[in-house]
Amino acid sequence: MNFSPKSLDFLFENCLNDSKTWFTEHKEDYNNYVLYPFREFVVKLTDTMLGIDDKFICDPKRISRIYRDARYSRGKSIFRDHLWYTFSRTTDAYKSLPGFYFSISSKGFSYGCGYYYASTETLTEIRSLILNKDRSAKAALKAYRDQDIFTLYGDFYKKDHFPDASPEEKDWLNRREMGISCESKDFELLFSDRLADKIAEDFVMISPVYKMFMKAENNILIKGNN
In angstroms, what CA-CA distances link 83 with 65, 103, 187, 189?
7, 6, 16, 18
Would you kindly state where each structural domain of the chain is located, as residue ranges? 5-225
Q: Name residue 152's beta-bridge partners.
A: 180
State in words which class domain 5-225 has: alpha beta
Q: In the structure, what pLDDT confidence band is assigned to residue 78 with cuts at 50, 70 and 90? A: confident
**What mean pLDDT, rounded, does the chain reach?**
93
Count of CA atoms in the C-beta half-sphere (13 A) of 140: 27
Task: Examine the pLDDT at 178 and tell me if it is beyond 80.
Answer: yes
Question: According to the model, what pLDDT value does residue 91 have?
Answer: 86
Task: Examine the pLDDT at 74 and tell me if it is beyond 70.
Answer: no
Alpha helices in the chain (DSSP H): 5-17, 20-25, 27-30, 36-52, 120-131, 135-145, 167-173, 187-190, 195-205, 207-225
Closest CA to 180 of 207, 146, 155, 151: 151
Between CA 123 and CA 138 the distance in angstroms is: 17
Q: In the structure, what pLDDT confidence band is assigned to residue 76 with cuts at 50, 70 and 90? A: low
The Cβ of residue 79 has, within 10 Å, a number of other Cβ atoms equal to 19
Between CA 137 and CA 158 the distance in angstroms is: 24
Q: What digits encode the pLDDT tens for the residues 8-18? A: 999 999 999 99
More confident residue, 32 or 94: 32
Rounded to an integer, the average pLDDT of 40-59 is 97
Q: In the structure, what pLDDT confidence band is assigned to residue 96 with cuts at 50, 70 and 90? A: confident
